[in-house]
Structure 1
Amino acid sequence: MPVVVVALLHPKPEHRDEVREILTSIVPKVHAEDGCQLYSLNEDADGFVMIEQWVSQEALTKHGGLPALAEMNVALKGKMAKPVDLRFLSPVPAGDPSHGQVRS
C-alpha cells in the first residue's frame, strides 16, 4: 500500500533562499530512488512543504537511509528555525477516488 508523507520545513528567514537551493538540489536524486512515486517541493509563507508518496513503507524506510536525505540533513544544519515536522498520512475514502486520493 502506498505511503504518503508531508514534511513541513521552516527555515530561518536569513537562510530561506539557501534552504530552497538545498531542497531543489536533492529532488532529482530522490526521484531516482526505487519506490518514489511523488516527491513534490512546494512553498508557502512559512517555508517549504514536501509532499511524498512511496510505493510501500519499505521504500520509505530505505529512502531514510540513502545518501540524498543524509546530504540534505547535513546541508540544512543550523539553517532551520525548528525541526522538520513529518506527517505520515493514511487516506480516508470519500467522494470520487480519482479526485480524493493522492495517486501515482
Structure 2
Amino acid sequence: MSDPLTLFARISPKPEHRAAARDAVLDILAVTRSEPGCRRFTLHDDRDGGGDLYLYEVWDDEAALAAHHAKPYTRAVFDRYRTWLSEPVEITRLRAIG
C-alpha cells in the first residue's frame, strides 16, 4: 500500500468574508469525512488571532482527492473562494519522514 496523500492548506479570506469562508468549510466537514478515501479532514484557525484558516487533509491517494474536488459541495466552496479570498489557497503536500 502506498503512503497516504497528506495536505496542509492555508486559506486566506478577506476580513469581511472570514466567517462565511469558515462556515462554508464547516458545512462540508461531515460529508467530506464520509467520502471514500478520506482519512482526515480537519479545519483549524489561527490561535494568535490572524484571519487565516487551515485545513489538514489525509487521503488514500490522488484519485480520492480528485473525487473530492469534483463533488458539487466542494465546487460550490471553491466558486465562492473567488470573491472571498485575499489570495489563492496555498497547498503544501507533506510526506511523513519519521
TM-score (norm: length of structure 1)? 0.82
**Unaligned runs of at least 5 residues, structure 1:** 94-104
Instruction: Report the equivalent of 1:65.
Output: 70
Q: Distance in 1 between matches of 2:74 and 2:31?
A: 9
- Residue 85 of structure 1, aligned match among 86, 90, 96: 90
| In the alignment, structure 1 residue 34 sits paired with structure 2 residue 36 | yes
Aligned residue-pair number = 93
Instruction: Choose 1 or 2 for highest CA Rg.
Output: 1
Q: Distance in 2 between matches of 1:6 and 1:68?
A: 20
Shift of 1:69: 1.5
| In the alignment, structure 1 residue 51 sits paired with structure 2 residue 56 | yes
Q: Distance in 1 between matches of 2:77 and 2:53?
A: 14
Contact 2:15 2:51 in 1 (8 A): no
TM-score (norm: length of structure 2)? 0.86
Runs of 4+ in 1 over 2 A off after TM superposition: none
Contact 2:11 2:52 in 1 (8 A): yes
